[in-house]
Amino acid sequence: MPEVINLSYEDYHTVTNNIEIFENLGFNLEHFGINAILINNIPSIFRDSNIKDIFYTILDSLKHTNKSNKNLELELDKIIKNACVKSVKAGDKLHIQEIKALLKDLSNAENPYTCPHGRPVIIKMTRYELERMFERIQN
């Protein structure tokens, strides 16, 4: 998965000055030589996306908005919602590494209980409900 991205001087400094935004989104970036960034990890919601496209979309948003500006928040929210459409759906078959990555991302999420659209990600079930689901309890 590691991906090296060579950037212009300006873009490199935009990324390094806003590294916490990438980290908050779930990226793991490190410096990799002159004006280069190594992407070690990406959020699992972007698993089926072209990572360079996502990276440059976020970078462009950072370049055209002030990081304290509400427009940046709206732009990043749009990117995340777009990724949500491509995210794991019911019935998708996942490899164990993908499952572990999803659980790791979920544990680091600011709000692990809902997707960006507000749909539940985690539900609570009582032991009774679980046993009933597996037909351990008769009605």
What are the pLDDT digits (tens) for 81-136? 666 655 677 788 888 887 888 888 788 777 788 876 677 888 889 999 989 888 87
Q: Mean pLDDT, the chain, as a whole number?
A: 80
Tell me whether residue 57 is exposed, middle or buried, using C-beta atoms within 10 angstroms of its C-beta: 0 to 12, 13 to 18, 19 or more: middle
Q: For residue 123, how far is the Cα from the chain centroid? A: 20
Determine what percent of the chain falls in helix, strand and coil, rounding each to the nearest 5.
Answer: 50, 10, 40
Q: Could you tell me the sign of the dihedral formed by the alpha carbons of 108, 60, 77, 125, in that order?
A: negative
Question: Does residue 36 have a pLDDT over 70?
Answer: yes
* Predicted pLDDT of residue 6: 94
Q: Could you tell me the sign of the dihedral formed by the alpha carbons of 59, 28, 67, 85, in that order?
A: positive
Whole-prediction pTM: 0.56
Mean pLDDT value of segment 68-81: 68
